[in-house]
Amino acid sequence: MESVFRAAVEEAKSGEDHVIATVIRTSGSTPQKSGAKLLVRSDGSGVGTLGGGCVEGDIWFAARQLLKRGGDAEMRDYELNEELAAQDGLVCGGTMYFLIDPVRVEDEGANSYGEFASEVIEAYEGGAPVAIVNIVVAPESSGLEVGSRMLVRENGSTRGTLGDEKLESVSARQARELMALGKNDYVIAENGVEYYIEAYTTPPTLVIAGGGHVSKALVPVAKSVGFRLFIIDDREEFANEERFPEADIVQVGDYESALQELPINANSFIVIATRGHRYDDVALSSALKTPASYVGLLGSKRKTILIYESLLRKGFSLDDIRRTRSPIGIDVGARTPEEIAVSIMAEILMFRLGGSGGVLKLDERLIQAAVKRAEKPAESERTADPVSAD
């Protein structure tokens, strides 16, 4: 999404009208999830993606038509039935909901989308987190308008208006709760108003204490899923740019002070993987004093228990112990450093994205449904109801 906001700032500076299309909600199986964005310029070019195929093509066309004919923001739903999805080889069977929001320079003032986008970029670059609230459904009785938007800052101040003070107060509180990890939410109010909240903060950061084999294997995996990387080791031969060329920060120093000096926030994830029990103890003690939302310790259950005992003797609370995830990783039977790295990143992604950690394999009910459908004549298959899957 960062590229879309940067493009929005450039369009605003150039005085060019454009449209921001956002996936605000999905159900079932879809090629993109909530938060995906596409910016469509007046010349027809664009930045971002909504999943490709016929879905993106239709929303792209709708965005261009909205720019040409004028009109306010609108919400559209797009059902991916089997026949439609098969045209693009998507094999999906869900529904996507879009907010198509025109940004016209002549209508934009101090509270323009371009100005909002500038603050979002500042958040991406290490500034305070922000959130944008958009009204997507507004019953006539509410007196509100679809497309009304408000920017919410970490300190509670706002910019723009939704047209209702109570709604602004409630949504601002909800927005601040989402800021730490840059999450989003779709909310349906009691009066029927529906609004979408998107929070933005720095990209997720993986902080690795220890520059050994597992750490080296962890770096490319973390980088491939969009994490910034900070590496710490008290030995220069294990903490240098030659060993970790993909890292954003490589720091040589003792673990206690180094973890306190790095720019760690709630969207940071710390992995303790030093060369020994004594160093793990020091690093974990320091990590628990940071605002990182995730602190994990690599090692056996026996080592974990010994370090927990040490932390408790130092005065750390039971809540501190429970905050630590150790032994770290998802149980995939990993043995090699590369396998362990995949296991660790799988757990971190599960934690950050809210996954369950379970397998995605179809259950027997859906397998039997596929068996029954396969037994039907080919001509009736096209008109059969799709399999219902949650």
212-271 pLDDT, tens digit each: 999 999 999 999 999 999 999 999 999 999 999 999 999 999 999 999 999 999 899 999
Q: Are residues 167 and 233 in the same domain?
A: no
pLDDT tens column, 62-106: 889 988 888 888 888 877 655 544 454 444 557 889 999 888 877
Q: Are residues 217 and 330 in the same domain?
A: yes
| pLDDT number for residue 73 | 86
Q: Is the pLDDT of residue 192 over 60?
A: yes
Q: Are residues 241 and 222 in the same domain?
A: yes
| pLDDT number for residue 31 | 67
| pLDDT number for residue 88 | 47
Tell which of 149, 175, 202 closes a domain. 202
Q: Are residues 52 and 179 in the same domain?
A: no
Cα–Cα distances in angstroms (integers) from residue 223 to residues 220, 264, 298, in the given order: 5, 17, 19
Q: Are residues 196 and 212 in the same domain?
A: no
**Residue pair 186/34 in contact by the 8 Å Cβ criterion:** yes
| pLDDT number for residue 81 | 58
Tell which of 202, 225, 258 closes a domain. 202
Hey, what amino acid is at 257?
S
Q: Are residues 309 and 256 in the same domain?
A: yes
Q: Are residues 28 and 102 in the same domain?
A: yes
| pLDDT number for residue 296 | 97
Is the entire prediction scored with pTM above 0.85?
no
Question: Structurally, how many domains does the chain consist of?
Answer: 4
Q: Are residues 68 and 4 in the same domain?
A: yes
Q: Are residues 63 and 138 in the same domain?
A: no
**Residue pair 119/158 in contact by the 8 Å Cβ criterion:** no
**Residue pair 3/47 in contact by the 8 Å Cβ criterion:** yes
pLDDT tens column, 14-34: 888 899 999 998 887 776 788
**Residue pair 147/72 in contact by the 8 Å Cβ criterion:** yes
Please report where in the chains the tokens 């628990």 appear, as a residue. 288
| pLDDT number for residue 70 | 83
| pLDDT number for residue 85 | 47
Distance CA 335, CA 327 (A): 14
Tell which of 48, 76, 108 closes a domain. 108
Q: Are residues 225 and 267 in the same domain?
A: yes
Residue 358 lies in a domain: no
Distance CA 56, CA 86 (A): 15
Query: Which residue intervals of the chain are DSSP H helices?
Result: 2-14, 53-69, 82-87, 113-124, 165-178, 213-224, 255-261, 277-287, 301-314, 318-323, 337-353, 364-374, 378-381
**Mean pLDDT across 190-205:** 93
379 lies in which domain range?
363-390
Q: Are residues 7 and 92 in the same domain?
A: yes
Q: Are residues 290 and 323 in the same domain?
A: yes
